Amino acid sequence: MLQQLWAYAGEVVWLPTEDGWVQGQPEPDVIEGEWRAQSPCLEREHHDMMRLDGDWMVCVDCGRTSDENARAGT
């Protein structure tokens, strides 16, 4: 089962809504901006990413989202 989607930017955890992204309240437990506490990703130290529409990727284990272009600096 896919977890709650989330992204990390500006030292803040962001959650998607129908209207865009909002700061998580309460903020999920995230370690070093990369890992969701008590997730399989933290234990193995990598995400199991799958492609969504366009350049977006999501981890099937913890729900972390990533824009491939943002990571590449484009």
The domain ranges of the chain are: 7-69
The residue written with tokens 């809504």 in the block is 17
Return the pLDDT at 48. Answer: 92
* pLDDT, one tens digit for every residue, the chain (74 residues): 456 788 888 788 888 888 988 888 777 787 777 888 888 898 999 999 999 877 888 888 888 888 866 554 43
DSSP the chain: -PPPPBEEETTEEEEEETTEEEE-SSPP-EETTTEETT-HHHHHTS--EEE-STTEEEETTT-BEEEHHHHHT-
Q: How many CA atoms lie within 13 A of 31 on its CB side?
A: 12
